[in-house]
Structure 1
Amino acid sequence: MAALGPCRCLRAAVACRASIRARHTHLVPSWRHSRPILVPLHQTLASSSNAFKTEDAGDANDRQYDGIVVLAGGLTASGGVPEWVKGRLEAAADLHSRSPGSVILVTGGGTPHKPPILHDRSGHVIHESTVCADYLVSELGVSPNSVLKETSSYDTIGNAYFSLTIHAAPLGWSEVCTVTSAFHMPRARACFDWIYGACASAPRVAYLPVADEGMTETALEARRRREEESAAALRRSAEEVGADLAAISGWLHSTHRCYAVNRQHEWGEPTEATKEELETY
């Protein structure tokens, strides 16, 4: 793991936009809890700008990681871990066991599509990443000293941005693996390629897609359609904003419903998500 040092992403990204090296690889490993699924590279933002180019380095089973980033995927009505998120956490725990010295970073504060789950006794908000961290420790036997969490993000773009700026860049990580469900991976990879690719000191990122299990076929198909629409919107935003971390930060905090103060009056209002789509959040 790289030595700790100050993060100079905001300044460095501006100077290196044309020379950012390809640091993203595709990971298709196997693990005991689920089956590997290949996510087509052309489904990412790689085709929209030279700044987003990636490489397919094939099977990266033997690589060692500083951080294993797990994207949260909602909570059950009782505040538990949904089946499709359990698969992500199990895959991450298995990868962690084969990568000595790595830590698992679970991301996500919640979602704009549903009200938060509150703790029965205290009334405090139960963050998705907190529930995921508890599952890793209590159910999968991962040491709490090997788990980090991030509660600032409320969508996939936020997962990428805050995992980078709160943990990966300040800690000097050089190798990261991002874990999420197969239905979510094309857009997740697009987000990470864009945002990590805009930071000169960002780590190289590999991607581990997990089988789509634990949701109804109707809900899964609805979510896949939504993912395609969201990926198209992301591509337009990325092309407009560019591969500049300072510009991305400005865009995120001035226009995004989840993070912009000038849109915080919209928080809590119904979103456009359908009933079937809401089953997957």
Structure 2
Amino acid sequence: MKFDAIVVLGAGVTKKGNLTRVCRSRVDKAVELFLSGMAPRIIVAGKGEACVMKSYAVRKGLTEADILEEDKSLDTVGNAFFVKRDFLLRNDWHRLAVVTSGFHLRRAKLVFRKVFGKGYTLTFVASQSVLLVNALKQKLYLEKGLTVLTGILGMLVADGDMDAIENFVLKNPLYAVYRRV
């Protein structure tokens, strides 16, 4: 199936400004899918890492025109919200492949399905695991707790209700700088 875009969720940068191994793995998977013809563009998502992800993808053979940057989000809910608002709604796109790590897949599915609601085709793809066993166990433990919190959001907001989700995102202290972006 051909998608309108492949979105790759950020996973941070190092103190030196390089992508983390987890983030590189996600971008590698998105580039692989792009080169296989899955979609005509990639959206790199995450404040602080989107521009680094784009540069990395260009070094892997893509052109700058192949890659769109979502550089406002600070978490998974923000990734989904800003990607939908700034790209899918503005371009009338409805089919998206989402690339993230296996340990993050469950929460990403919950969040993106909540934010997007009906009328969108979402496919989720796991990047190759690059974490050592102990680090992976820690990530899975953290993800379990965050997934519970995401479930609470799910009870408070109807699927696809962009006004309620925007209100949730913009009231989040993390997004204080973006009160009306």
Q: Give the structure, 1 or 2, with the largest relative contact order (CA under 8 Å, sep 6 or more).
A: 1
Corresponding residue to 1:237 among 119, 132, 153: 153
Which residue in 1 is equivalent to 2:89?
Answer: 169
Pairing 1:1-281 to 2, within 5 Å after superposition: 63-99=1-37, 102-109=40-47, 127-138=48-59, 140-197=60-117, 203-213=120-130, 215-243=131-159, 244-254=161-171, 256-260=172-176
Offset at 1:190? 0.7
User: C-alpha offsets along residues 4-55 of structure 1, whole Å, 9 cap, x if unaligned?
Assistant: xxxxxxxxxxxxxxxxxxxxxxxxxxxxxxxxxxxxxxxxxxxxxxxxxxxx
Preserved contact between residue 252 and residue 260 of structure 1 (Cα < 8 Å): no
Offset at 1:173? 1.2
Preserved contact between residue 29 and residue 128 of structure 2 (Cα < 8 Å): no
The runs of 5 or more residues in structure 1 that have no matched partner are: 1-62, 110-126, 264-281
Preserved contact between residue 45 and residue 69 of structure 2 (Cα < 8 Å): yes
Preserved contact between residue 68 and residue 104 of structure 1 (Cα < 8 Å): yes
The runs of 5 or more residues in structure 2 that have no matched partner are: none
Which residue in 2 is equivalent to 1:48?
Answer: none
Preserved contact between residue 168 and residue 203 of structure 1 (Cα < 8 Å): no
Residue identity opposite 2:144 in structure 1: E
Q: What TM-score do the two structures reach when normalised by structure 2?
A: 0.91
User: C-alpha offsets along residues 128-181 of structure 1, whole Å, 9 cap, x if unaligned?
Assistant: 01000000002x101111100111000011001001001111111121100000
Q: Which has more helix, going by share of residues?
A: 2
Q: Which has more strand, going by share of residues?
A: 2
Offset at 1:77? 2.2
Offset at 1:87? 1.5
Q: Structure 1 residues 136, 80: closer, same or farther in 2, change over 3 A?
A: same
- State how far apart, in whole Å, the 2-side matches of 1:205 and 1:100 are: 13
Offset at 1:188? 0.8
- State how far apart, in whole Å, the 1-side matches of 2:56 and 2:39 are: 20
Q: What TM-score do the two structures reach when normalised by structure 1?
A: 0.60
SS for the counterpart of 2:6 is strand
Offset at 1:219? 2.2
- State how far apart, in whole Å, the 2-side matches of 1:100 and 1:245 are: 27
Residue identity opposite 1:249 in structure 2: E
Larger radius of gyration: 1
Offset at 1:100? 6.6
- State how far apart, in whole Å, the 2-side matches of 1:245 and 1:156 are: 15
Offset at 1:101? 5.7
Runs of 4+ that moved beyond 6 A:
none
